[in-house]
Amino acid sequence: MTLSTFTINGNEFHSYATLQEADAYLSLDLKRGTNWAGFTDEVKQQRLAAASRFLDELNWRGEAEDSTRSWPRRNITTQAGTPITGIPQALADATAVLAVNLSTETEDDADIKSHSVGAVRFDRFDNTRTTEKSEYLKTIRPLIGSFLILKLNTPTAYNADGEPFYESRNPFGRSEGIA
């Protein structure tokens, strides 16, 4: 399989699944299929492109073949040891699942929460998007988990004796604290 390209409002977008692949995969999903069928083709394409961008943020095994997209990759195999070339079907399926599950909140809406008490108003950062990303990952992990680097322990600091402290990172490469 190869990277799919859509033109939306004159702009070119890429997806790891074609519209036809997503339609076929989700038509068999009783839970998500009805929601997916309710979207126009243009909205479906937008969601497939957004899902592919989300997938590009993950830490994958192997090396990307080019610097603009995470797939296709080199030096990655199936669990049975067979080299993977192109876009694996599991990634196309995960793109479809993610596309139908994506929230419609904007980043600004999700990150900043405003509260008012009388005439006093305060804004606070809300990490809901990080939680949402973890929830999205849970829905697709059965499909693509074997291709991901799920935890990275990276030395982030050294003590006076030169021993490293390790930082645990999630699949998005974000810190989960010192281990």
The per-residue pLDDT for range 16-57, each reduced to its tens digit, is 999 999 999 999 998 899 999 999 999 999 999 999 999 998
Q: Does residue 88 have a pLDDT over 90?
A: yes
Q: Does residue 129 have a pLDDT over 60?
A: no
Q: Does residue 75 have a pLDDT over 70?
A: yes
Lowest mean pLDDT of 2-11, 30-39, 162-171, name the range.
162-171
Q: Does residue 176 have a pLDDT over 60?
A: no
**For residue 162, what are its two tokens?**
């030169």
- Please give the residue that has the higher pLDDT: either 159 or 54: 54
Share the mean pLDDT of the chain: 79
Mind giving me the DSSP string for the chain? ---EEEEETTEEEEESS-HHHHHHHHHT-TTTHHHHHTS-HHHHHHHHHHHHHHHHTS-BSSEESSSS-S-SEES-B-TTSPBP-S--HHHHHHHHHHHHH-----HHHHHEEEEEETTEEEEEE-THHHHHHHHHHHHHHHHHGGGB---EEEEEEE-TTSPEEEEEE-TTS-EEEE-
State residue 1's pLDDT score: 78
